[in-house]
A = this chain, B = another copy of it.
Protein backbone atom coordinates (compact mmCIF):
# COMPACT_ATOMS: atom_id res chain seq x y z
CA UNK A 1 0.00 0.00 0.00
CA UNK A 2 1.16 3.52 -0.70
CA UNK A 3 1.45 4.79 2.86
CA UNK A 4 2.75 8.15 3.96
CA UNK A 5 5.74 9.36 2.01
CA UNK A 6 7.41 12.45 0.65
CA UNK A 7 8.64 12.39 -2.93
CA UNK A 8 10.96 15.27 -3.73
CA UNK A 9 13.56 14.84 -6.42
CA UNK A 10 14.79 18.26 -7.54
CA UNK A 11 17.68 17.13 -9.80
CA UNK A 12 17.58 18.64 -13.27
CA UNK A 13 18.52 15.88 -15.73
CA UNK A 14 19.85 16.93 -19.12
CA UNK A 15 19.74 13.88 -21.35
CA UNK A 16 20.89 12.96 -24.84
CA UNK A 17 23.66 13.18 -27.40
CA UNK A 18 23.71 16.96 -27.11
CA UNK A 19 23.44 17.09 -23.33
CA UNK A 20 26.94 18.50 -22.90
CA UNK A 21 25.89 21.62 -24.80
CA UNK A 22 23.91 22.62 -21.73
CA UNK A 23 26.81 22.36 -19.28
CA UNK A 24 28.12 25.91 -19.73
CA UNK A 25 24.65 27.30 -19.05
CA UNK A 26 24.26 25.20 -15.92
CA UNK A 27 27.68 26.25 -14.60
CA UNK A 28 26.74 29.91 -14.87
CA UNK A 29 24.33 29.60 -11.96
CA UNK A 30 27.21 28.99 -9.52
CA UNK A 31 30.17 30.94 -8.17
CA UNK A 32 33.62 31.13 -9.76
CA UNK A 33 35.44 28.15 -8.22
CA UNK A 34 34.70 24.56 -9.20
CA UNK A 35 36.14 21.41 -7.66
CA UNK A 36 36.49 18.95 -10.55
CA UNK A 37 36.06 15.41 -9.25
CA UNK A 38 36.89 12.36 -11.34
CA UNK A 39 38.35 8.88 -11.09
CA UNK A 40 41.13 7.34 -13.13
CA UNK A 41 42.26 8.09 -16.62
CA UNK A 42 39.30 6.85 -18.67
CA UNK A 43 37.68 10.27 -19.04
CA UNK A 44 41.00 11.60 -20.29
CA UNK A 45 41.21 8.84 -22.90
CA UNK A 46 37.65 9.13 -24.19
CA UNK A 47 37.63 12.91 -24.49
CA UNK A 48 35.03 13.66 -21.81
CA UNK A 49 37.58 15.36 -19.58
CA UNK A 50 38.51 17.78 -22.35
CA UNK A 51 34.88 18.57 -23.08
CA UNK A 52 34.24 19.33 -19.41
CA UNK A 53 37.38 21.48 -19.10
CA UNK A 54 36.32 23.39 -22.18
CA UNK A 55 32.86 24.07 -20.73
CA UNK A 56 34.42 25.17 -17.44
CA UNK A 57 36.75 27.52 -19.34
CA UNK A 58 33.90 28.95 -21.39
CA UNK A 59 31.94 29.55 -18.18
CA UNK A 60 34.99 31.40 -16.82
CA UNK A 61 35.48 29.08 -13.86
CA UNK A 62 38.59 28.58 -11.78
CA UNK A 63 39.12 24.83 -11.64
CA UNK A 64 40.48 22.95 -8.64
CA UNK A 65 41.46 19.43 -9.66
CA UNK A 66 40.38 16.49 -7.51
CA UNK A 67 41.02 13.30 -9.49
CA UNK A 68 41.82 9.77 -8.43
CA UNK A 69 38.52 8.90 -6.84
CA UNK A 70 38.61 5.13 -6.43
CA UNK A 71 35.72 2.71 -7.19
CA UNK A 72 34.83 2.55 -3.50
CA UNK A 73 35.69 6.03 -2.23
CA UNK A 74 37.44 5.91 1.13
CA UNK A 75 37.29 8.03 4.24
CA UNK A 76 40.88 9.16 3.60
CA UNK A 77 40.01 10.35 0.12
CA UNK A 78 36.87 12.02 1.47
CA UNK A 79 38.85 13.96 4.05
CA UNK A 80 41.32 14.98 1.36
CA UNK A 81 38.47 16.26 -0.80
CA UNK A 82 36.98 18.21 2.10
CA UNK A 83 40.37 19.85 2.69
CA UNK A 84 40.58 20.82 -0.99
CA UNK A 85 37.08 22.29 -0.90
CA UNK A 86 37.75 24.28 2.26
CA UNK A 87 41.12 25.57 1.15
CA UNK A 88 39.75 26.79 -2.16
CA UNK A 89 36.31 27.84 -0.92
CA UNK A 90 34.71 26.05 -3.83
CA UNK A 91 31.27 27.08 -5.08
CA UNK A 92 30.40 23.88 -6.92
CA UNK A 93 31.63 20.30 -6.89
CA UNK A 94 31.41 18.83 -10.38
CA UNK A 95 31.66 15.04 -10.49
CA UNK A 96 32.59 13.50 -13.83
CA UNK A 97 32.32 9.72 -13.79
CA UNK A 98 30.08 7.02 -12.36
CA UNK A 99 28.41 6.47 -9.02
CA UNK A 100 31.63 6.46 -7.01
CA UNK A 101 32.58 9.95 -8.16
CA UNK A 102 29.10 11.33 -7.53
CA UNK A 103 28.77 9.60 -4.15
CA UNK A 104 32.15 11.04 -3.19
CA UNK A 105 31.18 14.52 -4.37
CA UNK A 106 28.04 14.40 -2.21
CA UNK A 107 30.12 13.23 0.73
CA UNK A 108 32.46 16.18 0.35
CA UNK A 109 29.51 18.54 -0.21
CA UNK A 110 27.83 17.76 3.11
CA UNK A 111 31.13 17.86 5.02
CA UNK A 112 32.79 21.10 3.87
CA UNK A 113 30.90 23.32 6.26
CA UNK A 114 30.82 21.03 9.29
CA UNK A 115 31.87 22.89 12.42
CA UNK A 116 35.56 22.53 13.37
CA UNK A 117 36.25 19.22 15.06
CA UNK A 118 33.24 17.40 13.60
CA UNK A 119 34.35 14.29 11.74
CA UNK A 120 32.51 13.63 8.45
CA UNK A 121 32.59 9.82 8.70
CA UNK A 122 31.32 9.82 12.26
CA UNK A 123 28.66 12.44 11.58
CA UNK A 124 27.12 11.03 8.41
CA UNK A 125 28.11 7.37 8.04
CA UNK A 126 28.05 6.30 11.68
CA UNK A 127 25.54 8.67 13.30
CA UNK A 128 23.53 9.15 10.08
CA UNK A 129 22.87 12.80 10.80
CA UNK A 130 21.26 15.07 8.25
CA UNK A 131 23.41 18.04 7.21
CA UNK A 132 22.80 20.94 9.61
CA UNK A 133 25.40 23.03 7.78
CA UNK A 134 25.25 24.49 4.29
CA UNK A 135 25.69 21.85 1.58
CA UNK A 136 27.94 22.81 -1.34
CA UNK A 137 26.06 22.30 -4.63
CA UNK A 138 26.98 19.19 -6.64
CA UNK A 139 26.71 18.75 -10.40
CA UNK A 140 27.33 15.55 -12.34
CA UNK A 141 28.45 14.44 -15.77
CA UNK A 142 27.67 10.72 -15.92
CA UNK A 143 29.99 8.35 -17.79
CA UNK A 144 29.00 5.01 -16.29
CA UNK A 145 25.50 3.85 -15.38
CA UNK A 146 24.22 1.67 -12.60
CA UNK A 147 24.08 3.34 -9.23
CA UNK A 148 21.50 6.03 -9.90
CA UNK A 149 23.60 8.45 -7.86
CA UNK A 150 23.04 11.10 -10.53
CA UNK A 151 19.45 11.58 -9.36
CA UNK A 152 19.37 10.46 -5.78
CA UNK A 153 20.56 11.53 -2.36
CA UNK A 154 22.69 8.53 -1.45
CA UNK A 155 26.41 8.44 -0.76
CA UNK A 156 28.40 5.27 -0.09
CA UNK A 157 31.76 5.68 1.65
CA UNK A 158 34.19 2.94 2.68
CA UNK A 159 36.21 2.87 5.87
CA UNK A 160 38.99 0.30 5.53
CA UNK A 161 40.11 0.78 9.12
CA UNK A 162 36.77 -0.36 10.53
CA UNK A 163 36.09 -2.59 7.48
CA UNK A 164 32.80 -0.84 6.80
CA UNK A 165 31.22 0.24 3.54
CA UNK A 166 28.25 2.38 4.47
CA UNK A 167 25.60 4.05 2.35
CA UNK A 168 23.78 7.04 3.77
CA UNK A 169 20.57 7.93 1.98
CA UNK A 170 20.14 11.52 3.04
CA UNK A 171 16.67 13.00 3.43
CA UNK A 172 17.66 16.56 2.60
CA UNK A 173 16.84 17.62 -0.95
CA UNK A 174 20.07 19.69 -0.86
CA UNK A 175 22.11 16.51 -1.28
CA UNK A 176 20.64 15.63 -4.70
CA UNK A 177 22.83 16.79 -7.57
CA UNK A 178 21.56 20.16 -8.79
CA UNK A 179 22.00 19.00 -12.35
CA UNK A 180 23.14 15.85 -14.11
CA UNK A 181 24.35 15.60 -17.68
CA UNK A 182 23.49 12.18 -19.16
CA UNK A 183 24.90 11.45 -22.59
CA UNK A 184 24.43 7.75 -23.43
CA UNK A 185 27.34 7.93 -25.90
CA UNK A 186 29.70 8.50 -22.97
CA UNK A 187 29.00 4.90 -21.95
CA UNK A 188 29.94 3.39 -25.34
CA UNK A 189 33.62 2.91 -24.49
CA UNK A 190 33.02 1.07 -21.23
CA UNK A 191 34.44 -2.49 -21.37
CA UNK A 192 31.76 -5.14 -21.87
CA UNK A 193 32.37 -6.71 -18.45
CA UNK A 194 31.70 -3.37 -16.75
CA UNK A 195 28.65 -2.73 -18.93
CA UNK A 196 27.11 -6.10 -18.03
CA UNK A 197 27.95 -5.62 -14.35
CA UNK A 198 26.17 -2.28 -14.49
CA UNK A 199 23.13 -3.83 -16.17
CA UNK A 200 22.78 -6.48 -13.50
CA UNK A 201 23.29 -3.88 -10.78
CA UNK A 202 20.33 -1.96 -12.24
CA UNK A 203 18.19 -5.11 -12.45
CA UNK A 204 19.05 -5.93 -8.88
CA UNK A 205 18.24 -2.42 -7.64
CA UNK A 206 14.78 -3.01 -9.04
CA UNK A 207 14.30 -6.55 -7.69
CA UNK A 208 15.57 -5.53 -4.23
CA UNK A 209 12.65 -3.12 -4.01
CA UNK A 210 10.14 -5.26 -5.89
CA UNK A 211 10.51 -8.46 -3.87
CA UNK A 212 8.97 -7.15 -0.67
CA UNK A 213 5.41 -6.76 0.47
CA UNK A 214 2.27 -8.48 -0.79
CA UNK A 215 0.06 -5.51 -1.42
CA UNK A 216 -0.75 -4.07 -4.79
CA UNK A 217 0.74 -0.72 -5.59
CA UNK A 218 1.80 1.39 -8.51
CA UNK A 219 5.48 1.13 -7.57
CA UNK A 220 5.55 -2.56 -8.53
CA UNK A 221 3.91 -1.92 -11.88
CA UNK A 222 6.48 0.78 -12.62
CA UNK A 223 9.24 -1.61 -11.52
CA UNK A 224 7.93 -4.24 -13.95
CA UNK A 225 7.98 -1.68 -16.75
CA UNK A 226 11.59 -0.79 -15.95
CA UNK A 227 12.61 -4.46 -15.84
CA UNK A 228 10.96 -5.23 -19.18
CA UNK A 229 12.68 -2.25 -20.76
CA UNK A 230 16.04 -3.19 -19.25
CA UNK A 231 15.85 -6.79 -20.48
CA UNK A 232 15.09 -5.70 -24.04
CA UNK A 233 17.71 -2.94 -24.05
CA UNK A 234 20.42 -5.07 -22.44
CA UNK A 235 20.07 -7.77 -25.10
CA UNK A 236 20.46 -5.14 -27.81
CA UNK A 237 23.42 -3.49 -26.06
CA UNK A 238 25.24 -6.79 -25.74
CA UNK A 239 24.78 -7.42 -29.47
CA UNK A 240 25.97 -3.89 -30.26
CA UNK A 241 27.42 -1.71 -27.48
CA UNK A 242 27.04 1.34 -29.71
CA UNK A 243 23.28 0.86 -30.13
CA UNK A 244 22.27 4.34 -28.98
CA UNK A 245 18.65 3.42 -28.37
CA UNK A 246 19.65 0.52 -26.15
CA UNK A 247 22.27 2.45 -24.21
CA UNK A 248 19.95 5.41 -23.71
CA UNK A 249 17.20 3.16 -22.33
CA UNK A 250 19.66 1.43 -20.02
CA UNK A 251 20.86 4.80 -18.76
CA UNK A 252 17.33 6.05 -18.14
CA UNK A 253 16.28 2.76 -16.47
CA UNK A 254 19.27 3.02 -14.15
CA UNK A 255 18.29 6.52 -13.08
CA UNK A 256 14.69 5.55 -12.29
CA UNK A 257 15.63 2.24 -10.72
CA UNK A 258 17.11 4.00 -7.73
CA UNK A 259 15.79 7.53 -7.43
CA UNK A 260 13.13 6.65 -4.81
CA UNK A 261 10.14 6.40 -7.22
CA UNK A 262 9.69 2.61 -7.16
CA UNK A 263 10.47 2.39 -3.43
CA UNK A 264 7.30 4.25 -2.42
CA UNK A 265 5.07 1.96 -0.42
CA UNK A 266 7.71 -0.79 -0.35
CA UNK A 267 9.52 -2.33 2.62
CA UNK A 268 12.44 -3.20 0.24
CA UNK A 269 14.82 -6.11 0.80
CA UNK A 270 18.46 -5.43 -0.24
CA UNK A 271 19.69 -8.86 0.89
CA UNK A 272 21.32 -9.58 -2.48
CA UNK A 273 23.36 -6.41 -2.00
CA UNK A 274 24.37 -7.57 1.47
CA UNK A 275 25.48 -10.96 0.16
CA UNK A 276 27.27 -9.41 -2.80
CA UNK A 277 28.97 -6.77 -0.71
CA UNK A 278 30.35 -9.50 1.54
CA UNK A 279 31.83 -11.14 -1.55
CA UNK A 280 33.20 -7.78 -2.64
CA UNK A 281 34.80 -7.14 0.74
CA UNK A 282 36.73 -10.43 0.52
CA UNK A 283 37.62 -10.41 -3.18
CA UNK A 284 37.47 -6.83 -4.45
CA UNK A 285 35.34 -8.18 -7.35
CA UNK A 286 33.21 -5.86 -9.48
CA UNK A 287 30.05 -4.93 -7.55
CA UNK A 288 27.49 -5.89 -10.21
CA UNK A 289 29.07 -9.30 -10.71
CA UNK A 290 29.07 -10.05 -6.98
CA UNK A 291 25.31 -9.47 -7.14
CA UNK A 292 24.75 -11.64 -10.21
CA UNK A 293 26.73 -14.48 -8.64
CA UNK A 294 24.54 -14.68 -5.53
CA UNK A 295 21.14 -13.42 -6.73
CA UNK A 296 19.66 -16.65 -8.09
CA UNK A 297 20.68 -18.95 -5.20
CA UNK A 298 19.15 -16.36 -2.87
CA UNK A 299 15.93 -15.90 -4.84
CA UNK A 300 15.48 -19.65 -5.28
CA UNK A 301 15.87 -20.11 -1.55
CA UNK A 302 13.36 -17.43 -0.55
CA UNK A 303 10.90 -18.04 -3.40
CA UNK A 304 8.58 -20.35 -1.42
CA UNK A 305 8.09 -17.55 1.12
CA UNK A 306 6.94 -15.13 -1.56
CA UNK A 307 5.73 -17.48 -4.28
CA UNK A 308 2.82 -15.32 -5.43
CA UNK A 309 5.10 -12.33 -6.03
CA UNK A 310 7.70 -14.44 -7.78
CA UNK A 311 4.91 -15.88 -9.95
CA UNK A 312 3.77 -12.34 -10.78
CA UNK A 313 7.38 -11.51 -11.67
CA UNK A 314 7.46 -14.55 -13.98
CA UNK A 315 4.37 -13.55 -15.92
CA UNK A 316 4.77 -9.76 -15.87
CA UNK A 317 8.49 -9.57 -16.67
CA UNK A 318 9.30 -12.87 -18.39
CA UNK A 319 5.99 -13.71 -20.09
CA UNK A 320 5.75 -17.11 -18.46
CA UNK A 321 2.44 -18.78 -19.31
CA UNK A 322 0.78 -19.52 -15.98
CA UNK A 323 -2.08 -21.64 -17.27
CA UNK A 324 -2.56 -24.83 -15.30
CA UNK A 325 0.53 -24.35 -13.13
CA UNK A 326 1.01 -23.75 -9.42
CA UNK A 327 2.41 -20.41 -8.25
CA UNK A 328 5.67 -22.18 -7.35
CA UNK A 329 5.97 -23.69 -10.82
CA UNK A 330 5.36 -20.35 -12.49
CA UNK A 331 7.79 -18.65 -10.09
CA UNK A 332 10.49 -21.24 -10.79
CA UNK A 333 10.06 -20.80 -14.53
CA UNK A 334 10.46 -17.06 -14.12
CA UNK A 335 13.73 -17.47 -12.27
CA UNK A 336 14.90 -19.91 -14.97
CA UNK A 337 14.19 -17.28 -17.60
CA UNK A 338 16.03 -14.68 -15.57
CA UNK A 339 18.97 -17.09 -15.40
CA UNK A 340 18.89 -17.61 -19.17
CA UNK A 341 18.94 -13.82 -19.68
CA UNK A 342 21.82 -13.41 -17.24
CA UNK A 343 23.87 -16.07 -19.01
CA UNK A 344 23.01 -14.58 -22.39
CA UNK A 345 24.30 -11.10 -21.50
CA UNK A 346 27.37 -12.48 -19.74
CA UNK A 347 26.77 -12.13 -16.01
CA UNK A 348 29.12 -13.92 -13.64
CA UNK A 349 27.07 -16.81 -12.21
CA UNK A 350 29.38 -18.18 -9.55
CA UNK A 351 31.41 -16.73 -6.71
CA UNK A 352 34.23 -19.18 -7.53
CA UNK A 353 34.77 -17.18 -10.67
CA UNK A 354 35.29 -14.11 -8.46
CA UNK A 355 37.94 -15.85 -6.34
CA UNK A 356 35.84 -17.25 -3.50
CA UNK A 357 36.85 -20.69 -2.23
CA UNK A 358 34.97 -23.01 0.10
CA UNK A 359 37.18 -22.19 3.08
CA UNK A 360 36.07 -18.55 2.85
CA UNK A 361 32.35 -19.21 3.36
CA UNK A 362 32.32 -18.75 7.13
CA UNK A 363 34.12 -15.44 6.80
CA UNK A 364 31.72 -14.36 4.08
CA UNK A 365 28.80 -15.21 6.35
CA UNK A 366 30.39 -13.14 9.12
CA UNK A 367 30.43 -10.18 6.73
CA UNK A 368 26.83 -10.57 5.59
CA UNK A 369 24.21 -8.29 7.07
CA UNK A 370 20.75 -9.87 7.42
CA UNK A 371 17.90 -7.71 6.17
CA UNK A 372 14.29 -8.03 7.25
CA UNK A 373 12.32 -6.26 4.53
CA UNK A 374 12.04 -9.21 2.12
CA UNK A 375 10.02 -12.42 2.20
CA UNK A 376 12.33 -14.29 4.52
CA UNK A 377 15.16 -13.26 6.84
CA UNK A 378 18.07 -15.63 6.24
CA UNK A 379 19.53 -17.73 9.03
CA UNK A 380 23.31 -18.02 9.15
CA UNK A 381 23.04 -21.56 7.76
CA UNK A 382 21.00 -20.25 4.87
CA UNK A 383 23.59 -17.55 4.15
CA UNK A 384 26.20 -20.29 3.89
CA UNK A 385 23.80 -22.33 1.74
CA UNK A 386 23.39 -19.43 -0.70
CA UNK A 387 27.13 -18.93 -0.97
CA UNK A 388 27.74 -22.67 -1.35
CA UNK A 389 25.17 -22.89 -4.14
CA UNK A 390 27.11 -20.19 -5.95
CA UNK A 391 30.53 -21.85 -5.68
Within 8 A of B (CB), among A239-261: 244-245, 248-249, 252-253, 256
Question: Complex: how many Å from CA A71 to CA B18?
Answer: 41
Contact yes or no, B216 A232, CB < 8 A? yes
Q: Which residues of B contact A218 (CB under 8 A)?
A: 225-226, 229, 233, 249, 252-253, 256
What's the minimum C-beta distance from A240 to chain B, rounded to whole angstroms?
Answer: 14
Contact yes or no, A173 B12, CB < 8 A? yes
Q: Which residues of B contact A245 (CB under 8 A)?
A: 1-2, 215-217
Q: Per-residue 0/1 for A1-26: is the Cβ within 8 Å of any B Cβ (1 yes, 0 no)? A: 11111111111111111110010000
Contact yes or no, B6 A249, CB < 8 A? no
Question: Complex: how many Å from CA A14 to CA B7?
Answer: 6
What's the minimum C-beta distance from A298 to chain B, rounded to whole angstroms?
Answer: 25
Q: Which residues of B contact A223 (CB under 8 A)?
A: 225
Question: Complex: how many Å from CA A144 to CA B184?
Answer: 39
Question: Complex: how many Å from CA A22 to CA B6?
Answer: 10
Question: Complex: how many Å from CA A5 to CA B248?
Answer: 12
Residue A308 at the chain B interface, CB threshold 8 Å: no
Please, which residue of chain B has its CB at the minimum distance from the CB of A179? B8
Q: Which residues of B contact A221 (CB under 8 A)?
A: 225-226, 228-229
Knowing A217-B249, A245-B215 are in contact, say whether A5-B12 is a contact too (CB < 8 A).
Answer: no
Question: Complex: how many Å from CA A5 to CA B8?
Answer: 20
A: interface residue count bin: 35 or more
Q: Per-residue 0/1 for A324-346: is the Cβ within 8 Å of any B Cβ (1 yes, 0 no)? A: 00000000000000000000000
Contact yes or no, B6 A13, CB < 8 A? yes
Q: Which residues of B contact A222 (CB under 8 A)?
A: 222, 225-226, 229, 256
Contact yes or no, A252 B264, CB < 8 A? yes
Question: Complex: how many Å from CA A370 to CA B341?
Answer: 44
Q: Which residues of B contact A201 (CB under 8 A)?
A: none
Q: Which residues of B contact A252 (CB under 8 A)?
A: 2, 217-218, 264
Question: Complex: how many Å from CA A253 to CA B265?
Answer: 13
Question: Complex: how many Å from CA A19 to CA B7?
Answer: 12
- Contact of A12 (CB < 8 Å), options: B1, B6, B249: B6
What's the minimum C-beta distance from A379 to chain B, rounded to whole angstroms?
Answer: 32
Please, which residue of chain B has its CB at the minimum distance from the CB of A151? B7
Question: Complex: how many Å from CA A224 to CA B6?
Answer: 24
Please, which residue of chain B has its CB at the minimum distance from the CB of A176? B10
Known: A6-B12, A225-B226. 11 other contacts (CB 8 A): A1-B245, A4-B15, A6-B22, A9-B9, A10-B10, A216-B233, A218-B229, A218-B252, A222-B226, A224-B225, A224-B228
Sample of 30 A–B contacts (CB below 8 Å): A1-B244, A1-B245, A2-B184, A2-B252, A4-B16, A4-B17, A4-B19, A5-B16, A6-B22, A7-B12, A7-B13, A7-B15, A8-B13, A12-B173, A216-B232, A216-B233, A216-B249, A217-B229, A218-B229, A218-B249, A218-B252, A220-B229, A221-B226, A221-B228, A222-B222, A222-B226, A224-B225, A224-B228, A225-B225, A228-B316
